[in-house]
Amino acid sequence: MESSPDSMTSLTPSINSIREIINEIHEKHRTLNDGSLADYIPELTRANPEWFGIAVTTVDGRQYLVGETAIDFTIQSVSKPFIYGLALDSLGLEEVRKRIDVEPSGEAFNSISLKPSTGQPRNPMINAGAIAATGMIRAPDVETRFRIIMDRFSEFAGEALSIDDSVYRSESETGWRNRGIANLLRNFNIIEGDVDPILEAYFMQCAILVNSRNLSVMGATLANGGINPITGKRVLSPSTVEKVISVMSTCGMYDYSGNWAFEVGIPAKSGVGGGIIGVLPGQLSVAVFSPLLDENFNSVRGIATFRDLSNSLGLHLFNRPSLTDYVIRRSYTLNQFQSSRFRPRKAQEILQREGHRIRVFELQGDLYFGALERLIHAYLRTINENDRVLIDLTRIGGIDEATRTIIFKFARQAFEKGKRIVLVDPKQIFSAGERRSLIPMAFVYNDCDEALEDAEENLLAQYGARMEASVSYGLERMDLLRELGEAELKGLSELVRKRSFEEGQTIIEKGGEPNEVFFLAQGIVGVVLRKENTMAFKQVSSFSPGMSFGELGLLLNEPRTADVVAITEVTVFSLNRDQIERYRQLHPEGYRKILLNALHSMSERLLRANREVAALK
Ligand code: GLN
């Protein structure tokens, strides 16, 4: 068994259950000796009938390699889906379709299967269609044509491929049937200009050397929507990939295509060199190489292997479990879970009371039609209770064009009903242009906390309880000083120190002595954790005027656990340990009330934390 540099190095083969299954299948079919080597191209009879390799490449670029996956063989007809892709990219769908149909022929690969009226080859997976596709690559001569093909094939494989000259010559010397087909195509003007250079390029393209490992990378590039998963380079456009895989699924196995779809259910293509690739969109590609062929010119062990793999790994395309069941990861309203901003009691009470009007849908997985339909259904069930709905796309993987368009429509309809859709889109699924065009129907935020905070501000504004940036709170409005009598407040005001901080200034430093408590009079402060040795930081919570901070550390007498930073210009009243002690002596009753308030606020925070944990479960 071989392993490639980028295969699963962290898992030893013996504990990798997937590799073990592939191993077992390889072991099972190793002794299958039915079939014969293709001999109509004389050079192909040099193949060793024992060769047998299975290579799997996932769309993440992981590989499972079993058997002779490094033995080179000629790609032959496995080149057909790729050359069809290149023709589509070069001439466009309409032009190519005019010349090559997409109907299964139900005949052998080398049948003269042209539509009588137009001369169109039945499909691009038989020789007639493939020769036509080769003719559609724009090039002045054989060398250029073949160089373009070779370069693009190498991009599919993620490495420089080469040609088996003797197989090429062998086929060129004996390929009379293909010459006949090409001349007929010329007769119908399906190909233009000189027939011979096109035919030679076709023979060369069939003689490109691959092994099952790099063939599986070529297939994985199709499975991955046209981006090579190893190099990260786009080789084909997604719309072309869709068409290529479609014809593979209906025509890829010649007159075995129907049985193949029935039993294996993976779009595939075989070649007389003994290779078969299967492409499972969004998941992986399998390439099997074994040169003994059946009467349809498909690899015998290849078919047996695919049948077992499809079964054991559950790869049949039409036996898909619903991938959309879990699109809504969780759903909650603002009274159950809030932003990380701590707000004074009065604001907090409003959010508790009115928060049910803001709903959050946290999504996960891929957002395709089935998933979006579920979301819209869930949305409509609660629409009467909500003013604003946050759709959190943080954990969304893929989304297609159709779904995007439906989201736009959905946002517009909600807006027309007086509702508001807010998208949380940190991965920039929606481009800057799309975001602009969504306004005012929907807003897009990069961060869920920010979107929650904005929803809170909006709700508080409706109740006149919005924090005014310009207003300064006196000590009498501090949550922690509630119930203090006039004299008690006055006593405190004589001890506190009023201080200002500029935006960005650090008020409390992590690791510092816990010697002060702060009452926030104006502005916003953020509690931030900095990543060591970097400038990066994460804001874990923030405070509005009326709140105090620093009292926890002070009570516990623990070094500061995070930085507290002025997010805006900030004014605070601060009180240090000595001043607190003095206050305790002068106003024992006031001091007792402060402690009770602190206890109260901590209990409330704990309740809120419990509620939020429950909402997130
Ligand atoms: N070069 C071969 C031919 O044209 C390809 C056929 C195949 O692999 N099925 O005959």
SS3 call for 254: helix
- For the Cβ of 77 lying below 6 angstroms from any atom of ligand 1, the answer is yes
Q: Measured between alpha carbons, how far is 403 from 383 in angstroms, rounded to an integer?
A: 20
Q: Does 12 have pLDDT greater than 80? A: no
User: Under CATH, which architecture does the 475-615 domain have?
Assistant: Sandwich (2.60)
Q: Which CATH class is domain 17-319?
A: alpha beta
Q: What is the distance in A from the centroid of ligand 1 to the CA of 162?
A: 18
Q: What pLDDT, on the 0 to 100 scale, is given for residue 594? A: 96
Q: What pLDDT, on the 0 to 100 scale, is given for residue 8? A: 44
Q: Measured between alpha carbons, how far is 391 from 422 in angstroms, rounded to an integer?
A: 6
Question: pLDDT for 427-477, tens place per residue?
Answer: 999 999 999 998 888 999 999 999 999 999 999 988 876 666 678 999 999
Question: Whose Cα sits closest to atom 10 in ligand 1?
Answer: 110
Q: Does 563 have pLDDT greater than 90? A: yes
pLDDT band at 530 (very low <50, low <70, confident <90, very high): confident
Q: What pLDDT, on the 0 to 100 scale, is given for residue 177? A: 94
Q: Measured between alpha carbons, how far is 59 from 14 in angstroms, rounded to an integer?
A: 23
- For the Cβ of 297 lying below 6 angstroms from any atom of ligand 1, the answer is yes
pLDDT band at 11 (very low <50, low <70, confident <90, very high): very low
Pick the more confident residue, 378 or 14: 378
Q: Does 101 have pLDDT greater than 80? A: yes
pLDDT band at 13 (very low <50, low <70, confident <90, very high): very low
CATH for 328-461 is 3.30.750.24
Average pLDDT over residues 268-289: 97
Q: Measured between alpha carbons, how far is 359 from 386 in angstroms, rounded to an integer?
A: 6
| CB burial string 94-115: b at 16+ within 10 A, e below | eebeebbbbebbeeebbbebbe
Q: What is the distance in A from the centroid of ligand 1 to the CA of 263?
A: 24
Q: What is the distance in A from the centroid of ligand 1 to the CA of 168?
A: 11
Does the pTM surpass 0.85? The reply is: no
Q: What pLDDT, on the 0 to 100 scale, is given for residue 192? A: 92
pLDDT band at 7 (very low <50, low <70, confident <90, very high): very low
Q: Measured between alpha carbons, how far is 87 from 81 in angstroms, rounded to an integer?
A: 10
Ligand 1 atom nearest to 77, measured from its CA:
8
Q: What is the distance in A from the centroid of ligand 1 to the CA of 302?
A: 17
Q: What is the distance in A from the centroid of ligand 1 to the CA of 63?
A: 28
Q: What is the distance in A from the centroid of ligand 1 to the CA of 131?
A: 10
Alpha carbons within 13 A on the beta-carbon side of 328: 16
Q: What pLDDT, on the 0 to 100 scale, is given for residue 6? A: 43
pLDDT band at 4 (very low <50, low <70, confident <90, very high): very low
- Residues 6+ positions from 254 with CB-CB distance below 8 Å: 105, 107, 108, 109, 125, 126, 270, 296, 297, 298
**What letter would DSSP give residue 523?**
S
Give the least confident one: 214-223, 243-252, 476-485, 536-545: 536-545
Q: Measured between alpha carbons, how far is 418 from 307 in angstroms, rounded to an integer?
A: 55
Ligand 1 atom nearest to 131, measured from its CA:
4
Q: What is the distance in A from the centroid of ligand 1 to the CA of 202?
A: 10
Q: What pLDDT, on the 0 to 100 scale, is given for residue 488? A: 96
Question: Whose Cα sits closest to atom 4 in ligand 1?
Answer: 127
Average pLDDT over residues 156-178: 96
- Quick check: 347 and 460 in contact, CB under 8 A? yes
Q: Does 105 have pLDDT greater than 90? A: no
Q: Cβ-count burial of 225 within 10 angstroms (0-12 exposed, 13-18 middle, 19+ buried)? A: buried
Identify the bridge partners of residue 566 per DSSP, sorted by sequence position: 525
Question: Whose Cα sits closest to atom 6 in ligand 1?
Answer: 77
Average pLDDT over residues 518-539: 86
Q: Does 351 have pLDDT greater than 50? A: yes
Q: Does 283 have pLDDT greater than 80? A: yes
Q: What is the distance in A from the centroid of ligand 1 to the CA of 298?
A: 11
Q: What is the distance in A from the centroid of ligand 1 to the CA of 404?
A: 42
Ligand 1 atom nearest to 273, measured from its CA:
8
Q: Measured between alpha carbons, how far is 53 from 50 in angstroms, rounded to an integer?
A: 10
Question: pLDDT for 119-131, tens place per residue?
Answer: 999 999 999 999 9
Task: Indicate the top mutation candidate among 39, 41, 179 to test ligand 1's pocket, ranked by most ligand atoms within 8 A of CB.
Answer: 41
Question: pLDDT for 487-515, tens place per residue?
Answer: 999 999 999 999 999 999 999 999 999 99
Question: pLDDT for 375-434, tens place per residue?
Answer: 999 999 998 899 999 999 999 988 988 999 999 999 999 999 999 999 999 999 999 999
Identify the bridge partners of residue 576 per DSSP, sorted by sequence position: 516
Pick the more confident residue, 331 or 10: 331
- For the Cβ of 256 lying below 6 angstroms from any atom of ligand 1, the answer is no
Q: What is the distance in A from the centroid of ligand 1 to the CA of 199?
A: 12
Task: Indicate the top mutation candidate among 78, 109, 112, 276 to test ligand 1's pocket, ranked by most ligand atoms within 8 A of CB.
Answer: 109
Q: Measured between alpha carbons, how far is 168 from 560 in angstroms, rounded to an integer?
A: 75
Ligand 1 atom nearest to 110, measured from its CA:
10
Q: What is the distance in A from the centroid of ligand 1 to the CA of 121?
A: 15
Question: pLDDT for 307-347, tens place per residue?
Answer: 999 999 999 999 877 767 789 999 999 999 999 988 888 89
Task: Indicate the top mutation candidate among 76, 105, 111, 270 to test ligand 1's pocket, ranked by most ligand atoms within 8 A of CB.
Answer: 76
Question: pLDDT for 138-150, tens place per residue?
Answer: 999 999 999 999 9
Q: What pLDDT, on the 0 to 100 scale, is given for residue 254? A: 84
- For the Cβ of 127 lying below 6 angstroms from any atom of ligand 1, the answer is yes
Q: Measured between alpha carbons, how far is 552 from 549 in angstroms, rounded to an integer?
A: 7
| CB burial string 288-301: b at 16+ within 10 A, e below | bbbbbbeebbbbbb
Question: For 283, phi and psi rounded to 5 degrees?
Answer: -120, -65
- For the Cβ of 110 lying below 6 angstroms from any atom of ligand 1, the answer is yes
- For the Cβ of 214 lying below 6 angstroms from any atom of ligand 1, the answer is no
Q: What is the distance in A from the centroid of ligand 1 to the CA of 273?
A: 8
Identify the bridge partners of residue 497 per DSSP, sorted by sequence position: 574
Per the prediction, the chain carries an average pLDDT of 92
Q: Does 599 have pLDDT greater than 70? A: yes
Domain ranges of the chain: 17-319, 328-461, 475-615
